[in-house]
Copies of this chain bind each other. A is one copy, B any other.
């Protein structure tokens, strides 16, 4: 207690317990080839000295860090919290830790994320892509650093995983058409959003698959305000009986916009959103929406790296479908 020891090493424990350093190491790893009473003596010494294995020594010896790096260009973003929950859960399962890094988005390249990570104690890395990196086509992951991208785009050298934005639109369109609507109007988002663009494509293709030419879309900007404006515009369109908004905020805004023009939801117009983010925030509106499992996306990414555990596993691409959650904002016309 008097002098503050720099740090307690196996050597100190070994000396106190009267055994070799190796036996201490074996005890730490609970090797069966140490006599129970010896183990107990060593454990007692560890407790007395407050021994904690040194991560650096261990990693140096093993050549592994048991850590996955996560690179984000934007920390705040829809779904990031759920994804992190997934990262943490999967890491935990494998006995790994997560190292988080914010990467400056100027320029917005995978290379910058990769070089940022290269100096950190990680065995593999996950990059969350919100936009299209300038070097997406040419990027090569660092040798020995398994790299997983969170995006819907497939990469030839890196595994990828994301919620299926394309299928999400398909589900919504099928759902609406299945309830007798002749078409589905769409409120889009800014064009630089990768996931938003995929939702838009999915909407178009799903309609065309039914021989329906997609109507003019209304461009939004993710905010409820833009949804409100879109709702007012669409309220005057007599062909519009169902609206699919690319997120919940716009969907909710749209509902209020429709109401401001005397149109009721779902009696006059049906509305569907995406994200299931309104839940606790809006009281008197159970929005029909699509719920993504971003936690699972996060888990898949870390599983891919921690699960391989050195053995270089092949490149895989995973899309995790969302689930359409029925609320009270769609009318069945049949």
Query: A55-B120, A121-B121 in contact; A283/B225 too (CB < 8 A)?
Result: yes
Is the CB–CB distance between A121 and B76 below 8 Å? no
Is the CB–CB distance between B99 and A100 below 8 Å? yes
- Name the B residues within 8 Å of A54 (CB-CB): 60
**Is A57 close to B, CB under 8 A?**
yes
Is the CB–CB distance between A256 and B283 below 8 Å? yes
CB-nearest residue of chain B to A84 = B75
Most B-side CB within 10 Å, residue of A89, A142, A253, A280: A280
**Is A224 close to B, CB under 8 A?**
yes
Taking a contact as CB atoms closer than 8 A, the residue among B59, B80, B87, B281 that contacts A121 in the complex is: B59
Q: Mark A84-108, 1 if CB is under 8 A from B, else 0.
A: 1101110010000111111000000
Complex formed: what's the CA distance from A98 to B69 in Å? Answer: 10
**Is A20 close to B, CB under 8 A?**
no
A296 to chain B: closest CB distance in Å? 14
- Name the B residues within 8 Å of A50 (CB-CB): 143
> In chain A between 89 and 143, which residues have their CB closer than 8 angstroms to a CB of chain B?
89, 92, 97-102, 118-121, 142-143
Query: A280-B249, A281-B252, A282-B252 in contact; A84/B55 too (CB < 8 A)?
Result: no
A233 to chain B: closest CB distance in Å? 14
> In chain A between 290 and 321, which residues have their CB closer than 8 angstroms to a CB of chain B?
none
Taking a contact as CB atoms closer than 8 A, the residue among B76, B87, B257 that contacts A81 in the complex is: B76
Query: A56-B121, A143-B4, A284-B228 in contact; A97/B88 too (CB < 8 A)?
Result: no
- Name the B residues within 8 Å of A88 (CB-CB): 72, 75, 100-102
Is the CB–CB distance between A55 and B65 below 8 Å? yes
A250 to chain B: closest CB distance in Å? 9
- Name the B residues within 8 Å of A53 (CB-CB): 119
Is the CB–CB distance between A101 and B98 below 8 Å? yes
- Name the B residues within 8 Å of A144 (CB-CB): 4, 7
**Is A334 close to B, CB under 8 A?**
no
Taking a contact as CB atoms closer than 8 A, the residue among B92, B257, B284 that contacts A102 in the complex is: B92
A283 to chain B: closest CB distance in Å? 4
CB-nearest residue of chain B to A101 = B97
- Name the B residues within 8 Å of A277 (CB-CB): 281
Is the CB–CB distance between B280 and A282 below 8 Å? no
Complex formed: what's the CA distance from A227 to B283 in Å? Answer: 8
**Is A222 close to B, CB under 8 A?**
yes
Complex formed: what's the CA distance from A115 to B89 in Å? Answer: 18
CB-nearest residue of chain B to A95 = B119
**Is A82 close to B, CB under 8 A?**
yes
Is the CB–CB distance between A97 and B99 below 8 Å? yes
Query: A76-B82, A100-B100 in contact; A224/B281 too (CB < 8 A)?
Result: yes
**Is A278 close to B, CB under 8 A?**
yes
Give 8 new A-B contacts, CB below 8 A, not counting A56-B60, A87-B100: A52-B118, A54-B60, A56-B57, A92-B102, A224-B281, A224-B282, A225-B280, A252-B283
